[in-house]
Structure 1
Amino acid sequence: MKQILAIALMFFTSGLYAQSVPPIRVDVHLVNVFVNVTDQNGSPVSGLTQEDFTIAEDGHPQKIAVFEKQSNMPLSIVLAVDTSGSVNKDLAIEKRAAHNFVHSLLRPQDSLDLIEFSDDVREVVPFTNKLSRIDYGIENLRTGPATALYDAVYLSAQSLNSRPGRKVLVLISDGGNTVKGVDYADALEQAVRSETMVYSIIDVPIQADAGRDTGGEHAMITLSQETGGKYFYADAAHLPEAFQKVSEDLRTQYLLAYYPEHRRTDSDFRTITVTVKQPAGAHYTVRHRTGYYASPRQ
């Protein structure tokens, strides 16, 4: 018996066993992609099945492993409100609209974090589903002289990074960033890495271009487009409507998930493409995040 054990030990330590059996590598990273489909009128398209969708990573088809209609996954939401002087005139209306949004959207399994940003970023209410705490926080937002927009996006996405379920940032601002801190590129990368969907509600100060920060508005639009969220222009009279559209959008999402296959590029960023069958006479628009980073941030 001792001789048999000795031979077996020599067999393993000599590397013969390692050479004869190839290593097993299993990629267990499930990629979740939340998809919104709308028709030519902008209305959500319901009733689609898994067979109606195709998904590709870096141009290579992927097998859909998980499919859900109107995903019931929990929502982790950061509601980030610009309280700088440039939007102070609409703050009372924003508060009322935010109250309605929270009460109509949050379910027992969901949670919301409320932050305000002006010259800095402050967490008013940490993640909770207690409506009374959120209501109190909304009523006690404080104003400031400047706008740390990109800091707010970065910190919000960072706080969402370890949250379960769907990760959503609802960003209310006029688009101006007047604080030197996090830049736009880093804010966008953090949002993408944390798989945060950014919904931008752009509070239009005036209709004319003069005096508007159109560059900041474009930054908010791009944040939403790259992360699979959506953007809305809303003056004071239409802020409640914009909140309602965000709520409807989150309630009509499909979930497509896959285990990545056939990675043939050295790029850290993986592009995602989703297509849907187009019935005769219909024109569907598909919206989802444009990709993800394959490695953690250094």
Structure 2
Amino acid sequence: MPSQPNRKRPLNSPAARLALALLFTAPMLILSSATHGSHAQKQQSTDLRQRPAATPEIIDDEDVLKIDTDLILVEVTVTDAEGKPVRGLRPEDFKLFEDGDERPVAFLNVERRGGAERPVAVVFAVDVSGSMTPEEFVRLQSAMRAFSERLSTREASFAVMSFGMNARVLQSFTSDARKLERAIERMARDGSGLSTHTYDAVDDAVRLLVRNAPRTRERRLMKRAVVVVTDGFPVGDTVAPSTVIERANDAEVSVYTVTLPSYSRLMAATSSDRSPLPTPLDVSGLTEKTGGLNVYANTHDYGPLFKALAEEVTSAYVLAFYPPEEKRRDGRSHAIRVEAPRGLSVRQNRTSYKSSDK
């Protein structure tokens, strides 16, 4: 990824103070590209009215942290009427509401900045329980390769997990295509498995991302995602779906699910409706409430589906705002809603946040 130019500025200038804030709070604050710099400076006077007062000449580390840990991030995916991701939107194209009141967008992190694509970290969590057919398994391995190849031009790292009754990490994060290939080849069906601990596996995948995939890389916000491949029937989990959703929201992780044809075939035997029926994962809200998506694989070729999913994973925007002073330490949950231009749909990775009570 190309490095950004190093420009010298006066230490007491607004730009220098903003640079200090980024240095000490990188996991929470990602600046837009140089092309958006002028817009950020225009917003600065508005944003500062909502921030705690700070000494105009000198800002020490503690003041910087106090200011910028109040920033609330929300990641959104915008799609058109055909469900295709929409790119190229600017801050003024969005409206952001907190508890029904519109807030200024402090910044917008986009897919590209100065020609650099946003880095991604993806965990494949693959259901290897006996319910997956051998044919599905072979096609799945091929589709996972197609997914990683689709992202080969950007800074991307992948981890591979298998799960049935227990989750197992086959490959921790790597950008080495050969290691990923070997991990995919090591996956094996568990024909004796009677349980499919899907939520437990997603919870483990989120923890893996938190431990090994930093939120930022070279001043760019990392897109962190879990891609779950399953037949749609979680059985025997010890972690509740609501807990998994909360932890994914806190870690800014989106969950995507790929439902295999074995689920559709089983449902077809009990329903005359040819449209896909909701899976238990759909009903739980796991994908919807983390900004992800559930897709159904067809019976022939998973490759195109996984390529489209790769595009979906890398098309999100990150918006941020400063809550008003009275809501920053009230210990309550507050609703977040983002609107895009008319005719476009928005999916959010979170619909609320809980402020600190300290």
- Provide the residue aligned with 1:60 in structure 2: 101
Q: Answer yes or no: is the 8 Å Cα contact 2:108–2:317 preserved in 1.
A: yes
Instruction: Map 1:1-298 to 2 at 5 A.
Output: 26-29=66-69, 30-71=71-112, 72-89=117-134, 90-107=136-153, 109-144=155-190, 145=193, 146-162=195-211, 163=213, 164=215, 165-205=222-262, 206=265, 207-208=267-268, 210=270, 216-219=280-283, 222-262=285-325, 264=327, 266=330, 268-278=332-342, 283-294=343-354
- Provide the residue aligned with 2:47 in structure 1: none
CA distance in 1, matches of 2:240, 2:207: 15
Structure 1 pair 62–119 and aligned structure 2 pair: CA distance change class (3 A): same
Structure 1 pair 168–181 and aligned structure 2 pair: CA distance change class (3 A): same
Stretch moving more, 163-172 or 231-240: 231-240
**Residue 86 of structure 1: SS of its match in structure 2?**
coil
Q: Answer yes or no: is the 8 Å Cα contact 1:157–1:169 preserved in 2.
A: yes
Letter in 1 for 2:334: R
Deviations 1:17-75 (A, max 9, x none): xxxxx997734223332222222122333332211111122323222222233253321
Identity level (%): 27
Q: CA deviation at 1:214?
A: 5.2
Structure 1 pair 23–260 and aligned structure 2 pair: CA distance change class (3 A): closer
Structure 1 pair 92–224 and aligned structure 2 pair: CA distance change class (3 A): same
**Residue 40 of structure 1: SS of its match in structure 2?**
coil
Unpaired segments of 5 or more residues in structure 1? 1-21
Query: For this pair of structures, how many residues does the alignment match?
Result: 270
CA distance in 1, matches of 2:326, 2:124: 36
CA distance in 2, matches of 1:269, 1:242: 36
Structure 1 pair 139–32 and aligned structure 2 pair: CA distance change class (3 A): same
Q: CA deviation at 1:295?
A: 6.1
Letter in 2 for 1:210: T
Q: CA deviation at 1:209?
A: 5.6
Stretch moving more, 25-34 or 232-241: 25-34
Letter in 2 for 1:53: F
CA distance in 2, matches of 1:173, 1:245: 18
Normalised to the residue count of structure 1, the TM-score between the two structures is 0.80
Q: CA deviation at 1:241?
A: 2.6
Letter in 1 for 2:354: A
Q: CA deviation at 1:183?
A: 2.4
Structure 1 pair 284–80 and aligned structure 2 pair: CA distance change class (3 A): same
CA distance in 1, matches of 2:132, 2:332: 38
Letter in 2 for 1:109: E
- Provide the residue aligned with 1:15 in structure 2: none
CA distance in 2, matches of 1:174, 1:295: 37
Deviations 1:55-113 (A, max 9, x none): 12232322222223325332111111111111133111000000111121145532111
Stretch moving more, 54-63 or 208-217: 208-217
Structure 1 pair 68–180 and aligned structure 2 pair: CA distance change class (3 A): closer
Q: Answer yes or no: is the 8 Å Cα contact 2:234–2:281 preserved in 1.
A: no
- Provide the residue aligned with 1:6 in structure 2: none
Structure 1 pair 269–118 and aligned structure 2 pair: CA distance change class (3 A): same
Q: CA deviation at 1:142?
A: 2.3
Letter in 1 for 2:286: L
Q: CA deviation at 1:115?
A: 0.4
Normalised to the residue count of structure 2, the TM-score between the two structures is 0.68
Q: Give the structure with the higher percent strand.
A: 1
